[in-house]
Amino acid sequence: MATAPALDSKTADTLRAAMNAARAGNVAQARQLAETALDQGGDVVALNAFLGMLLARSGEQVGAIGHLRRAHEARPGDVTIACNLIAMQLEQKDLAGVLGTATRELAFADTSLRVARYRGFAAQSLDRFAEAAEAYDHVVAHQPDDFESWNNLGNARSALGDFDGSIAALQRAVALDPKAPPTRLNLASALNAAGRAAEAEQVLREAMADFPGDARPVHDLYVHLKRENRHAEALPVAEQAVKRDPDDAGLQLKFGIECGLAGRQADARQAYERAIAIDPLLRDAYLGLIIQHEHNNREEEFAPLLALAQRNGLDDGTLAFMQAFEHRRARQFGAAYECAMRVPEDIEPERTHHLRGTVLDRMERSAEAFAEFSEANRLHIANPTDPRRRAKDVRDELQSEIEQMTPDWVASWTPAMVPADGDDPVFLVGFPRSGTTLLDTILMGHPGTVVMEEQPPLNLVDKDLGGQKNLAGLDEAGLIAARDLYYREVEKIQPREPGKLLIDKSPLFLTEAPLIARLFPRARFILALRHPCDVLLSCFMSNFRLNDAMSNFLKLEDAAEFYDLVFRHWEKARALLPLNVHTIVYERLVENVEVEVRPLFDWLGLDWQDQVLDHSSTAKARGLITTASYAQVTEPIYKRSSGRWTRYREQLEPIFPILRPWIDKFGYSL
């Protein structure tokens, strides 16, 4: 780099006088001296460089940049002037200007490496990652112990898709400074991007242990677990994150979401409310809370929450979403629809389209309602977890099980006795949306029952045994162990009270009849039936959580195929096994509850109690309703859903050929 030329004596004298004035606090005199000398033809570089620094110290950044730029243009190889100009450009957030000053030529000529670091930073901030990586490569080649440049190089390489290079750079940065948490997080991110998830998780867990006061590694581990659909493991990690940083509204929001999914309703509500208190404009916390209120039959909380949102100045779109909920609660369907139409597409799009569909359906604007439900489902289909593929896997498994179910298969079962240790459970089954939630609420109203709603004990047993294919070889010891596992899991959820009848309600246990019959030969089944067209329409219109089975309801043709397979499975089990079944027909149930359920209570050996008819009070007392029926089951029993399918005949006609045999079998008609 060229040596700066010597100053002429007049400029040198002026600068000495100006510097003395500045040191004495007389900035105006210092500025006047330098500007006068500049006007009189003094040294352009020296005087502009001085004025640039003088104005910078006085807070006149724009003026400072002007002088420093003129000095830099006159002497572009002067690193000190260039760095002073860059500092001012950074103050002005002029990253493009920084990159223009920190040229590749100057960066590579500067032995101090300051310009190269500036160039790397500016290029990376502007997403010009190739230039950033080149600059940082230059820095670490000349200063291999610069951990910050290794870290930045790793991030730049990751952005370029060079994950192996990124990991190598970040590992070098961690080795140089293992006490820097952000570098560990960057390394975990690069490992994940490279498909090395197990290593990424190890890095995050080590960072959690090494930095016990830092919530960031915990948060990133939570995100990692969610990405891998390890939801049960994600909840305790989210809880640990909020313990480390209870004043982070975003962490409280995530914890609230996880608690809601896990049924920890009080914790969910507290987390949402805490998030709102920390950040009164965090709209997702309001959205999560109002949805939770709906699921918990706390619709009276809508108006106070809406009033709080209005006082806090929440945006109009979120307010419109909340107002739609409140109007729907008040049966003001026109107003609810108008509010729902004002909700922007970036606010709960699937739920908003579903909300519009529900109120349009109540207004009997059927074609428009169907279009809204279809759009909600289309958005669900786009979920990265590929729900339609998962749904197809479920149907394929059902087909395989049906093919296995033959008389020879049942005859091959290893003989096994089960202990006579009291009543076996009663299983309440039926295709989703067949009235099972209404029925289990009625059963809950009897003091002689304990109702367990859609809980995992039987599924855990099925998983432990390895599925239906392993039932035949189950010996007596294995059978007793499986029963014990079921009851142990039940105790964790719904402790069994002596003398009370355990009712395990899960609609799709229709397809678990062979397992139930094998484990509990004295089990009884309550089968809920409803017109297949009403059932499938309701499933299509429901906002289910997208597990593998419920993903079948995003397309009508998938739903119809699923219905056919489920009942073929059930009917084959009934033909092969001595199942004890009592059928409840939804249409008769809503017509006259007592007439339909009195024989059921007799069959169950339960004395009649008039209080079972007050299902609304039972529903309100039960709290969380985990099924898609939460919005209806607290209402008085209504008949509007019986025959609703006729308003959607045109949309349902393509699936009539699949449903017709079942419609005829169950005594319905088209």
pLDDT at 530 over 80: yes
Q: Strand, coil or helix: what is 449?
A: strand
Domain-located, residue 100: no
SS (H, E, C) 208-239: HHHCCCCCHHHHHHHHHHHHCCCHHHHHHHHH
Domain-located, residue 199: no
The domain that holds 431 is classified in CATH as 3.40.50.300
Q: How many domains does the chain have?
A: 1
pLDDT value for 115: 96
- Other beta carbons less than 10 A from residue 34's beta carbon: 27
Domain-located, residue 59: no
Residue range 606-649, pLDDT digits in tens? 999 998 888 556 555 554 444 444 444 444 455 556 789 999 99
Tokens 């930073």 locate to: 121
Residues in the chain: 670
pLDDT value for 640: 58
Average pLDDT over residues 210-234: 93
Joined together, the tokens standing for residue 468 give 């239906």
pLDDT value for 617: 62
pTM to 2 decimals?
0.79
Report yes or no: 564 and 397 within 8 Å, Cβ to Cβ: no
pLDDT value for 421: 67
Joined together, the tokens standing for residue 380 give 């669900």
Q: In which band, very low, low, confident or very high, does the pLDDT at 80 lie, cut at 50, 70 and 90?
A: very high
Domain-located, residue 17: no
Residue range 361-402, pLDDT digits in tens? 999 999 999 999 999 999 999 998 899 999 999 999 999 999
Looking only at the bridges linking them, the beta strands covering 449-453 and 426-429 are: unpaired
Residues 6+ apart with CB under 8 A from 68: 48, 49, 52, 53, 56, 81, 84, 85, 88
pLDDT value for 629: 45
User: Which one, of 20, 24, 21, 18, lies nearest residue 49 by Cα?
Assistant: 18
pLDDT value for 38: 84
Q: In which band, very low, low, confident or very high, does the pLDDT at 24 lie, cut at 50, 70 and 90?
A: confident
Alpha helices of 110-180 — where are they, by DSSP H? 114-125, 129-142, 147-159, 163-176
Domain extent for 400: 390-665
Domain-located, residue 564: yes
- For 362, 569, 646, 648, the CA distances from 653, given in Å and listed in that order, are 22, 24, 10, 9
Report yes or no: 340 and 356 within 8 Å, Cβ to Cβ: yes
Tokens 């002029």 locate to: 94
pLDDT value for 5: 66
| 157 beta partners | none
Q: In which band, very low, low, confident or very high, does the pLDDT at 47 lie, cut at 50, 70 and 90?
A: confident
What is the distance between the alpha carbons of residues 6 and 652, in angstroms, rounded to a whole number?
91
pLDDT at 444 over 60: yes
What is the distance between the alpha carbons of residues 142 and 225, in angstroms, rounded to a whole number?
39
Residues 6+ apart with CB under 8 A from 150: 136, 140, 169, 170, 172, 173, 176
Report yes or no: 435 and 586 within 8 Å, Cβ to Cβ: yes
Q: In which band, very low, low, confident or very high, does the pLDDT at 45 lie, cut at 50, 70 and 90?
A: confident
State the chain's mean pLDDT as an integer: 92
pLDDT value for 621: 55
Looking only at the bridges linking them, the beta strands covering 501-505 and 426-429 are: parallel
Residues 6+ apart with CB under 8 A from 547: none
Give backbone dihedrals phi and psi of 162, rounded to 5 degrees, phi first: -90, 75
Domain-located, residue 460: yes
Our CA angle for 210, 213, 218, nearest 5°, is 75
Q: Cα–chain-centroid distance for residue 433?
A: 25
What is the distance between the alpha carbons of residues 297 and 299, in angstroms, rounded to a whole number?
6
Domain-located, residue 644: yes
Q: In which band, very low, low, confident or very high, does the pLDDT at 433 lie, cut at 50, 70 and 90?
A: very high
The rounded radius of gyration (Å) of the Cα atoms in the chain is 35
What percent of the chain has a predicted confidence (pLDDT) above 70? 95
Joined together, the tokens standing for residue 204 give 């995050």
Domain-located, residue 72: no
Report yes or no: 402 and 572 within 8 Å, Cβ to Cβ: yes
Q: In which band, very low, low, confident or very high, does the pLDDT at 27 lie, cut at 50, 70 and 90?
A: confident
CB-side exposure of 102: number of CA atoms within 13 Å? 30
Residue range 567-595, pLDDT digits in tens? 999 999 999 999 999 999 999 999 999 99
